[in-house]
Amino acid sequence: MPGPLDGLVVLDLSRILAGPTCTQLLGDLGAEVIKIESLEGDDTRQWGPPFALDADGTPTDLSAYFMSSNRNKKSVAVDLTDPEVQHLLHALAARADVVIENFKPGGLRKYGLDHETLCAAYPGLVYCSISGFGQTGPNRDKPGYDLMAQGYGGIMSITGEAAGEPMKVGVGVADVVCGLYAATGILAALRHRDATGEGQHIDIALVDATMAWLVNQGLNYLTSGVSPTRAGNAHPNIVPYQVFATADGHVIVAVGNDSQYARFCDYLGQPDWATDPRYATNTARLAQRDTLVPMIAEVLATRTTAHVIAGLEARKVPVGPVNTIGQALETEQAQARGMTITMPAPHTAKRDVRLIGNPLKFSRTPVSYRSAPPTTGADTDAVLGPLKKGL
């Protein structure tokens, strides 16, 4: 069944994670994505181990990192400095609906592949540029990496234990969220293009995207004038809403309102804590966090994780485990929702690769998994050969 973006052609000049996250999403939705790589391949092909192995047990150029964001794409490996290649990529841009790139601002101008050149040549083209700081501003020429964006954008200042050092999020979340914003912007620009025939340039920055998802913490500052600080797993605006140690592990308790709190106190065997004016409302609990949380922790530390989860679920109090990645991906819930998939990869020892699935569930136009992440240049001849004949 055709996907919602069936027939859309994307010329992907991006690498690493933000751009590839965006184009993998477009590919899952049915777009034809042509990934342009250097002759050495995307940098992330070497970011391992782990790697998919070939039949001899030798690592291939399919690192786990690369495979995380490059399915449903054709790989074309070329030398961008070659004038003939530049000519061929212009021909690809002529048939493309979207071009996406994450070079430094102005970095593609010397190849004639910048947004000014291509948008002027092809007025219906949607051209998306991803960079560290954007195409404007005093920092436009500085390099952008996920870790730098997390630091500059403020998220590291509120991540980690209060007495510990600033901490990055455990995955490249600045890249990933930037890629998701890019996909949303591209789809919006395509709707405008389809209505008016007019393409446009989209300028999105890792740092801007990082600041955008500061959400309530960003607004806590803008409203109060005080920058939030690190609080470990505690929530800045809700108590109790954090991780607690149990007798055999950890558990998450997420009490979102006062009625849930009363039921939580019933489980703890401390009903008086629900009526005590010091703790009865969320505002009061915030003020008394340093007193209340240790009392809760003392009780939960005597009970097993399973006991806490069963007891709170029975009382309809939000509660959950702290899974490892392996535990999370192998849960019955994850399997029922298709959050892991297996795709054929005949050149690997296992002849397939296991990937994380797309979370979107469409009732009419489902996502599709048409091709596993490609080896470097696997589609160069198939994509460029016909163009060479036509030029």
Q: Which of 175, 248, 266, 272 is catalytic?
A: 175
The three-class DSSP label of residue 10 is strand
Confirm whether 97 is a catalytic residue: no
100 touches 19 (CB < 8 A): yes
Strand-pairing partners, residue 201, are 127
DSSP letter string over 86-146?
Answer: HHHHHHHHHH-SEEEE-SSTTTTGGGT-SHHHHHHH-TT-EEEEEESS-SSSTTTTS---H
Closest by CA position to 131, among listed 93, 174, 187: 174
Question: Which residue, chain included where needed, has tokens 């939580």?
Answer: 264
Surface-to-core class of residue 275, CB atoms within 10 Å of its CB (0-12 exposed, 13-18 middle, 19+ buried): exposed
**Are 241 and 318 in contact, with CB atoms under 8 Å apart?**
no
182: Cβ contacts below 8 Å, ≥ 6 apart? 18, 19, 22, 100, 128, 130, 202, 204
Tell me if 76 sits within 8 A of 64, measured CB to CB: no
How, if at all, do strands 98-101 and 9-13 pair? parallel
Distance CA 356, CA 68 (A): 7
* Residue found by looking up tokens 């990192």 in the block: 65
Catalytically annotated residues: 175
